[in-house]
Structure 1
Amino acid sequence: MRKLSTLLASAAFAAGLAISLDTLALPYPQPGQEMVVTYYGSAAKTTVVGVRSYHSGCDVHHTSWGSTSAYSTISYYGCVDPEY
């Protein structure tokens, strides 16, 4: 039983570390920008499997759906003026 709990704790730690490293690797947007990361199922980048968006000072909602993968593209957009 102790071996199982140690194994589960190690797996949880590894998963958390992988998520942390993935988050740190992102080049976050500059003030007034939105960054959209699109994740694909393969290196061919033909099938989208997930999307994440991040913003710096924009009045927009974060988008997060699907899964992440090793294959992605990053796009930057200027914030949309909320008065329009």
Structure 2
Amino acid sequence: EYRKICSEPQHIAINECALRPDICGGGKCIDTDDGYECECNPGYVKRDGKCEDVDECQEAYCQGGTCQNLPGSFMCHCPPGFVVSGEGRYCS
């Protein structure tokens, strides 16, 4: 004779944000009932559920100068005698 001694499977909540604090990369991890959600910081975009840095230098920033991509931002380096203008988008 056999008797059922196992209880029904139970849902165990796992907080992925606490287990892997860097899970979202450049964003904030929000724990949800069925996993997690990433809220991206400025200068980052969500790809495949994670936050990745936007390479502003690929978007024709720093016209007349040299663009340096930084995590979540960028820096424009202008030639001598020129200054960064237009929210860092060009040298004048």
- TM range, normalised to the smaller chain? under 0.3
RCO comparison, higher one (Cα < 8 Å, 6+):
1
Larger radius of gyration between Structure 1 and Structure 2: 2
The TM-score with structure 2 as length reference comes to 0.24
